[in-house]
Structure 1
């Protein structure tokens, strides 16, 4: 027994795969090894076990980090005032599931817990609502990122893009270029385009008035579509034969974008999702078509790339969006995605405000008379409107701002800080990744800021001595000044276009462009409710709750000159 054991020379046994390969081969290994196959099988088992242990340790580490982050989220979240909830707030879940009044729900919570309230959307998702204007300004200044869902929505619908992404650092330079472009559209060659847009809209209005009425919502969407399209593509857009198809596709893609983006994994197995992808592909093809047409006609469209916009004489004269393609750091796909995102975002926000104003013109006939009188006094009947003419129409601008105050694009202004915690001046720390929301109806109709009539439609509040039409909207360079408010509280409580680093870069452009559109519309037409709906509209609109407006059917009657 002893001699057989000693016959196995342990020093000749290769303990590594490299050692086995360097030997003379399995024939030279001692018999106790069991042969080459047995050795390789044993080595594979040991290697597999080592790999599995490494994977297990890595997964365990990731889970521990996630658990630590979750515990930290719970610890910080529990210090913020709010209702107790183990996993998710049942009241919020009911509101989200039934599509209830989120503003009313948050109003009750703020009355009970103060200006900052936290809600648990889920075990790992915290929502913090901020109502106090001072804290709102601080939150919007420090929280520079958009919600990840926003970025996924635009990526799904538009493909690769650099403008609508969650991280502020990635989009900062692109936003600055867009802001310069929109502001210069108001002063450099913008007037001719605006009137061509209005002529196109009026032509469309005349063609569909054969139905005897216009649906306020769809007509507003059509006006917004033409404004944004002509701004980005110039004359090429107004002469484009596929504008109707393009508008329909944009509306269909915008309708379901958030729904499909909410899936953690794209549901490619669902036929409805594949149909949505087909719509997005068709929209992209049409966008590429209008880009080529715009480039060929050399219309004034600016290229949003990662380089800052140079204020050269040539660019001020108007370059196409792709005019500097050779110098661009953006790909063709990214350019197309940015434009699609601008169309989707611009139409949704602008159409909401236009529809709001049209409905108020129907509901308040005296308002329309006052606006028309101011428009006539500001310019000659035969002359074309210019930006400076609109800047003199203070009551019109006040009407647009008041409409935006009472009915913003959405009930909540949403922000987040993806990487850093936010420590507010009140001592509250909001953990990174939490959803920060500002209930706009509560802030913009706060009686302590706007007065006892805060819930009523009153454009004259923007014409008072303590409200100078400036911080809310500054005039473009080279034009007559226009100031909206020097009252700090009112400025911080006027948020239809957001505030801080992620505020809408097109605020000035939208207000002035819509004001010019409304002025041109009222110069030529009188907006009236459809006879069958006059009583219905009057009964639905309560002056104390004027942010709830019906979708009225209107008639445009040509004025007698």
Structure 2
């Protein structure tokens, strides 16, 4: 027997381990080349392409871009409140990096979200073009879509035919006549809120103080539970608790999960986000399946959003009028997640900042109260009367202008596209800064940074020199489907509060807006209440 015959593999034959090693080395090399392209070569190309067309921006830093500096600026800004001599000058606190970039590099400039250039678009006409997406070249960012699905889902992240189908099914539930049926739910929740506040005033010695931020969160949670699902707030409390935690974790994940593969790693934050999503889905599935069973038995409430949605879903026809299969239970769960989060957040945020601003500007508080008492007296608000509230509507619009719930929207180019004379390559992020555009003096005049509801006296169309510059609920075909729901709820609530209370900010109040996906008061909203 020769030496070679004694060996497991003849000389010249490759062992399986060496083959595997070669394959692994090749795969590692491919991965390294892809990472080099993603983290260095592509950003450098896009940087040159943008600067060659006259855009200015920050210098790209490997992998992280401006994210580390953005975090440092945000943490420094959050360490101190907004000075009360200029209380509505909140942009440097909310978006310090974008604020500095616009000052240093101009209105059309860019920063870096990791290895992705983020161009800030402040021209209202260009913003409308992006949001209308008639060219079909703009989409929501993949990272936001992938992560946001863990919090909301549904219409917020859908595209194309699926979005059209869901929107067609859901539209009937938000028709004005259907919202009118929900007014008793709004009034019932507000009556309980007023009752709690009256007890606080009655029990206080001296001036009664109350933090209205958690009060409005509870109130809007109660409204969405009653009006959307026909249940009490206590039954939906667990969903709200889970979604509040999910929002915080989602914000954290945006700073790391832009790196490919990080969102798939079994790290604590990723595991917890997925566990929260599973629990929310399980609760909602139980509510939906129980309602479907009740509907089959003929004893279900069809006047809430879930009932209207299920009814519309069963009767769904496609655009040709042919009966088609509606949404699955899993798809309905996605829309219900959106109901719960957006329905609670938008109104709680709007009412909280309305209380703040009316406390800062008592003359407008008095004008709004005078109108409410003239229209309703001490009676509960009715649908027709709510539609006659001009001053209250002006106030709410101005609050939405200065304190929009969502301060920034992002879109992404997935093909080369010309916009405003600039050709953007695929993969560029477009930042649409609602907060900035709502305060642009070139659009809103010299008093753009001041609270002046009178600018809306003749409606949105004449409030500034470009009516498209006001878009607190987005714009175009994807405008928020629940905006009328939120405004009706806010008008009922603020009317009932003004009927019974006068209020002012507590000396303990610190004006500190900050973002947790929506615009929250960092230290709450302590106010002093006085029974009228």
TM-score bucket (shorter structure): 0.7 to 0.9
The yes-or-no answer on 1:254 pairing with 2:247 is: yes
CA gap of 1:323–1:485, structure 2 versus 1, over 3 A, is same
The yes-or-no answer on 1:526 pairing with 2:501 is: yes
Residue correspondence of structure 1 range 77-156 to structure 2 within 5 A? 77-79=50-52, 80-83=54-57, 85-87=59-61, 93-99=68-74, 100=77, 101=92, 103-122=95-114, 124-142=115-133, 144-156=138-150
In the other structure, the counterpart of 1:201 is 193
User: SS where residue 163 of structure 1 aligns?
Assistant: helix
Separation of aligned partners in 1, 2:263 and 2:97: 32
In the other structure, the counterpart of 2:89 is none
Q: CA deviation at 1:91?
A: 6.7
User: SS where residue 485 of structure 1 aligns?
Assistant: helix
Separation of aligned partners in 2, 1:198 and 1:321: 29
Separation of aligned partners in 1, 2:284 and 2:521: 35
Map Cα deviations across residues 155-208 of structure 1 (whole Å, 9 max, x no partner).
3346xx543326456434323443442234655523333323323433554577
Q: Is the 8 A contact 1:153 1:258 kept in 2?
A: no
| Match 1:332 to one of 329, 332, 339 | 329
**CA root-mean-square deviation:** 4.2
User: SS where residue 214 of structure 1 aligns?
Assistant: strand
In the other structure, the counterpart of 2:446 is 452
> Any gaps of 5 or more consecutive residues in structure 2?
78-91, 295-299, 317-322, 513-519
User: SS where residue 497 of structure 1 aligns?
Assistant: coil
Separation of aligned partners in 2, 1:113 and 1:519: 44
Higher CA-based Rg: 1
Q: CA deviation at 1:496?
A: 1.7
The yes-or-no answer on 1:393 pairing with 2:389 is: yes
Q: Which has the higher contact order (CA 8 A, sep 6+)?
A: 2
Q: How many residues align?
A: 479
Q: CA deviation at 1:250?
A: 3.0
The yes-or-no answer on 1:355 pairing with 2:352 is: yes
In the other structure, the counterpart of 2:461 is 485
Map Cα deviations across residues 472-518 of structure 1 (whole Å, 9 max, x no partner).
xxxxxxxxxxxx32467341221222223433222233223311221
Separation of aligned partners in 2, 1:151 and 1:85: 27
The yes-or-no answer on 1:551 pairing with 2:495 is: no
Separation of aligned partners in 1, 2:177 and 2:237: 24
Separation of aligned partners in 2, 1:286 and 1:157: 14
User: SS where residue 378 of structure 2 aligns?
Assistant: coil
CA gap of 1:429–1:195, structure 2 versus 1, over 3 A, is same
In the other structure, the counterpart of 2:362 is 365
Separation of aligned partners in 1, 2:66 and 2:450: 29
* TM-score normalised over the length of structure 1: 0.72
In the other structure, the counterpart of 2:214 is 218
The yes-or-no answer on 1:192 pairing with 2:169 is: no
* TM-score normalised over the length of structure 2: 0.75
In the other structure, the counterpart of 2:303 is 300
Q: Is the 8 A contact 1:420 1:431 kept in 2?
A: yes
Map Cα deviations across residues 121-178 of structure 1 (whole Å, 9 max, x no partner).
33x31110122223332333336422223222333346xx543326456434323443
Greater mean alpha carbon deviation, residues 366-375 or residues 190-199: 190-199
CA gap of 1:205–1:84, structure 2 versus 1, over 3 A, is closer
Q: CA deviation at 1:120?
A: 2.6
